[in-house]
A and B are shown apart, each in its own frame.
Chain A
C-alpha cells in the first residue's frame, strides 16, 4: 500500500509542478533585467514602472474593471433568480437556456452575439455590447453555484416558515436570502473573475478605440513581446488571488454561521 502511495505522491507532485512552474516563470521574469525572456540577468522593477506609464494599458485596465463590475452585478442578479427558480419550480425551458452557454464553446456565443448586435440591434460595438455578452455567459455559473447551495439545504426550514404564515416574499427575504448569500457572493466573484479574464467573447463583441485588458495583452503577445506583459500578468494573478482568498474567508465565516443556525433549529 505504501508503494502505491509513493507513486501517487510523486505523480501528484509532478502535476502540481507542471501547473505552477510556468506561472512562476512568468512572475520571475517580470523582475528580470533583460528584454528577452531567456535567462536571468538581474533584478529590476523597471517593467512595472513602464507599465504604470503605459496609458493605453491603464485605460484598458480601467475599462475591464468597469465591465467586470457591471457584468458581475447583472449576472449575479439574474443568475441568483435563475438558480432559485430552477431549484424551486419544475421548469423545463429555463435550465436549458441557463446552462447551455456554460457548456458551449465560447466562440459560438461570441459569433452569434456579433451577428445579433450588428444585424438586429444595429448597435455600435463598445462597452455596452461587451457587458451584455459577459452577463449572458456568467448567468449560468452563478445559477449553478446558487442552485448547488440550495440543494444542500434542509427543506424543513422553508416548510416551517410557510407554516408560520410567511408570504413567499417574506420567506425569501428572511429565510432564503441570508442562507444563500455565500453562494451569491461566490457567484459574483466568479463572474467578476470570468469577465476580467475573458478573451474569446470580448474579441468578437468589442468595438474600436476602447482598449480592453485581455485584448491588449493578446496584441502585446502577438506583436511585440516585452516583459511588460509579465508585469501585468503578475499583477492580474495577484488580484485574482486576493479575490479568491476573500471569497474563501467569506465562505468559511458564512458556513460556520449557517452551521450554528442549523444547530439552533435542528
Chain B
C-alpha cells in the first residue's frame, strides 16, 4: 500500500465523521454549555439576563456569576415536590404502559411470522399521527358533554355521588401520557420476546410448571432487558412533558416541564429556568444510568 492509500482511510474517517460531529458540537454541546452557564447568572432587571461583567461603577453584587438560582431551588420544598410529582406520574405511566403492552408484545411475538409485521405496524401507526391530535382526541372523549362523561356521571348519580369532571384532572393527564407513550413500550418488549427460545417453555412444561410459573420463572426474567429499555423510553420523556398537563390537566396539575416553560415564556426568569433544566437533566441521566445498570445485571442472570 502506498502512503496515499494508507492515508485515504484516515481522510475518509474525518470526512465521514466530521460534519455530523461539527454540527452536533455547535448545535447541541454548545447550547447545553450555554444553559449551564445561564443557570449561574443573574436575571436581568427587566427580563433576559444581567451582563456577566459589571458596567463601570455599578454594584458588583448584581453582576457576574452566582449560585442564586440553585439556592432559590433548594430554598423551598415546593420545587422538590414538583419533581416528586413528575416522578410519580412518570412511574405510574410506565407501570400502566408495561401492564398494557406486555400481553400485546407476547401475542405479536407468538404469532405467525407473516402477521407479525402487520401487527407491529398497527401499533406504530397511531404514533405516526400528530402528537397534539392524540391529546385532542382525549379532550373529546373526556369532555363534559361526551358520551363517556354522561355515562359515568349517570352511574355516580345513581349512587348519589356528585358529578365529576373527567377532563382537566390528574386522571386525564395520566390517560394522555399513557396513550402517547404506549407504542414506545410495545416495540422494545416485542423485539426482546421474539428472541426467546420456545423450547425453554416446553422444557419447563415437561418439568411440571403451570402457566403462571412458566411466565414468572422463564419468560419474565428473560424479558427484563426489554422491560428496562421500554421503561426508559417511556419514563424519561414523560418526566419532561408539558403539553399533556397543559392541555388535559387542571390548574394544579403542573409538572416540571410546565414549570420550566413558565420560566422562559412567562416569568422571564432564565437563570432559574436553566437551573431547573439542569436538575431535570441530572435526574434523567441518573434514571438512564440505573436502567442501563439493571439491564446489564438482568442479562447476567439469564437462564442457561
- B residues with CB within 8 A of A: 5, 8-9, 12-13, 16-17, 19-21, 23-25, 27-32, 34-35, 38, 49, 100-101, 103-104, 106-107, 110, 121-123, 125-126, 128-141, 143, 145-147, 179, 182, 211, 232, 236-237, 239-243, 246-247, 257, 260-261, 264-265, 270, 273-274, 277, 280-281, 284, 288
Contacts and interface: CB of A to CB of B under 8 A. Distances in A.
A236 B155 CA distance: 37
A107 B261 contact: yes
A229 B136 contact: yes
> Interface centre among B24, B242, B273, by most A CB within 10 Å?
B24
A206 to B, nearest CB: 11
Contacts of A241: 125, 128
B134 A85 contact: no
B55 to A, nearest CB: 18
Contacts, number: 231
Contacts of A105: 236-237, 239-241, 257, 280, 284
A196 to B, nearest CB: 8
Given A105-B236, A112-B32, A119-B34, A204 B128 contact: no
Contact of B129 (A23, A85, A113): A23
Given A98-B20, A107-B242, A221-B136, A169 B12 contact: yes
Contacts of B12: 168-169, 172
13 contacts: A12-B104, A22-B137, A26-B136, A39-B147, A109-B31, A112-B35, A113-B27, A120-B30, A120-B34, A199-B243, A200-B243, A204-B265, A236-B133
Which 3 interchain pairs have the tightest Cβ spacing? A105-B240, A22-B137, A85-B17
A41 to B, nearest CB: 13
Given A89-B13, A107-B257, 9 more contacts: A8-B107, A18-B182, A79-B20, A81-B19, A97-B24, A97-B29, A199-B243, A217-B133, A217-B136
Interface of A: 4, 7-9, 11-12, 15-16, 18-20, 22-23, 25-26, 29, 36-39, 77-79, 81-82, 84-85, 88-89, 91, 93-94, 97-98, 100-101, 103-109, 111-116, 119-120, 132-133, 135-136, 139, 143, 167-169, 172, 193, 196-197, 199-200, 203-204, 214, 217-218, 221-222, 225, 229, 233, 236-237, 240-241, 244, 248
